[in-house]
């Protein structure tokens, strides 16, 4: 078996693309289920916990700056490009107020999920493009996960930090406190796989995951407590699809464009509205179709010409100095963002 087959999960490419498209359709009002967008995000969270947790388990402390540098290339470049596009578009339409600057600052420092989303109800009209880009909250949560998880998995003494029992306790706390339990469930699964092997590939495990998904669907349909069901459904989907194999070229593009589509799926909609508004078709089916096609085309182009090329050379770009600077900046941004956010909350 090739190295690629040993370390690649081809089904995740298709999953990423489907999740990103479902979020786009939700934001367009084309999916009726109220939780559809959040459900896709929760599956993304479980996927991140599973994959990043699996990486961190194998890392040594001296490798952490390289880890942060890789995350910055993968996450920061598309994120800040999307934020620049959002801010520049907003400058053409919106008045620049203190609240506008505050929200942009939270997104710049990756703390919008903590301080920005709680203000949507009251201040969305004062936000860039009336709250467009609020879905960035999940990227901010992911960034915080990248900063916090290594403090346990990498820097605390082994094997305690990588014991299934410890992560069961952490997962239980996250679940009952409703603090990003899907991500923690993903890490728990990665820790369990590291300790007990590929349990998730056993036929009995697949049956259990299927039953959990069926029970979750019934629970969603019956309007049971969504927050308590979704972490189990999310991690079951991830583990059910965790089959290593060779990368599919079409799947790689489909999955690769998912992050850009998630970040920028508002752009095609704005363009479609601008093109069709003079003809009275701004909110027509034509506008939806054109917006969706443009969103996917833009996402593929951004992935192909930016993400793919950066990922191909990030090994060459890395130096110890750049890794250290990236690590310092990563922690500093979130710390400064939290200090400013808590200060403004208490004024």
Report pLDDT digits (tens) over 290-330: 999 999 999 999 999 999 999 999 999 999 999 999 999 99
Q: How many of the other CB atoms lie within 10 Å of CB of 283?
A: 11
Q: Which two tokens stand for residue 218?
A: 């019934």
Exposure string of 20-42, with b = 16+ CB inside 10 Å and e = fewer, is bbbbbbbbbeebeeebbbbbbbb
Question: What does pTM read for this prediction?
Answer: 0.95
* Closest by Cα among 299, 266, 281, 293 to 129: 266
CA dihedral sign of residues 89, 90, 91, 94:
positive
Reported as a pLDDT band with limits 50, 70 and 90, residue 2 is very low
What pLDDT is stored for residue 347 in this prediction?
A: 85
What pLDDT is stored for residue 279 in this prediction?
A: 95
Each residue's pLDDT tens digit, 168-202: 999 999 999 999 999 999 999 999 999 999 999 99
What pLDDT is stored for residue 5 in this prediction?
A: 55
Mean pLDDT of the chain: 95
Check whether the bond before 98 is cis (ω within 30° of 0): no
- The C-alpha angle 292, 293, 299, rounded to 5 degrees, equals 90
Check whether the bond before 159 is cis (ω within 30° of 0): yes
Each residue's pLDDT tens digit, 265-274: 999 999 999 9
Distance, CA of 50 to chain centre: 13
Looking up tokens 């690769």 gives: 256
Each residue's pLDDT tens digit, 40-85: 999 999 999 999 999 999 999 999 999 999 999 999 999 999 999 9
The whole-number average pLDDT for the span 279-297 is 96
What pLDDT is stored for residue 4 in this prediction?
A: 52
What pLDDT is stored for residue 297 in this prediction?
A: 98
Looking up tokens 């349990």 gives: 199
Return d(Cα 262, Cα 307) in angstroms, integer: 14
Q: Which two tokens stand for residue 217?
A: 């669907």
Return d(Cα 198, Cα 55) in angstroms, integer: 15
Return d(Cα 182, Cα 291) in angstroms, integer: 31
Q: Is the pLDDT of residue 1 over 80?
A: no
Q: Which sequence spans correspond to the domains of the chain? A: 3-345
Return d(Cα 244, Cα 4) in angstroms, integer: 9
The whole-number average pLDDT for the span 208-219 is 98
């Amino acid at each position: 078996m090739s190295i690629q087959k040993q370390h690649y999960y081809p089904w995740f490419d298709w999953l990423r693309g489907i999740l990103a498209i479902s979020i786009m359709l939700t934001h367009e009002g084309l999916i009726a289920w109220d939780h559809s967008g959040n459900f896709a995000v929760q599956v993304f969270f479980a996927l991140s916990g599973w994959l990043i947790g699996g990486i961190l388990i194998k890392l040594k402390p001296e490798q952490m700056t390289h880890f942060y540098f890789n995350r910055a290339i993968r996450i920061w470049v598309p994120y800040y490009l999307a934020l620049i596009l959002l801010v520049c578009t907003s400058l053409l339409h919106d008045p620049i107020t203190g609240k506008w600057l505050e929200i942009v600052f939270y997104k710049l420092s990756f703390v919008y999920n903590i301080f920005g989303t709680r203000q949507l109800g009251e201040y969305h009209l004062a936000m860039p493009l009336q709250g467009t880009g609020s879905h960035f909250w999940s990227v901010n949560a992911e960034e915080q996960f990248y900063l916090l998880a290594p403090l346990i998995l990498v820097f605390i003494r082994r094997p305690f930090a990588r014991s299934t029992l410890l992560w069961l306790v952490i997962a239980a706390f996250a679940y009952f406190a409703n603090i990003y339990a899907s991500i923690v469930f993903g890490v728990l699964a990665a820790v369990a796989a590291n300790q007990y092997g590929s349990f998730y590939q056993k036929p009995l495990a697949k049956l259990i995951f299927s039953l959990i998904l069926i029970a979750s669907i019934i629970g969603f349909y019956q309007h049971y407590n969504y927050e308590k069901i979704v972490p189990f459904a999310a991690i079951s989907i991830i583990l059910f699809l965790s089959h290593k194999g060779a990368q599919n070229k079409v799947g790689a593009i489909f999955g690769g464009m998912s992050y850009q589509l998630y970040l920028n799926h508002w752009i095609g909609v704005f363009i479609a509205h601008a093109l069709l508004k003079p003809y009275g078709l701004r909110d027509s089916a034509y506008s939806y179709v054109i917006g969706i096609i443009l969103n996917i085309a833009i996402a593929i182009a951004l992935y192909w010409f930016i993400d793919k090329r950066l990922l191909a050379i990030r090994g060459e770009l890395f130096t110890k100095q750049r890794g250290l600077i990236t690590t310092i900046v990563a922690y500093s941004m979130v710390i400064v963002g939290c200090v400013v956010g808590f200060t403004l909350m208490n004024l």
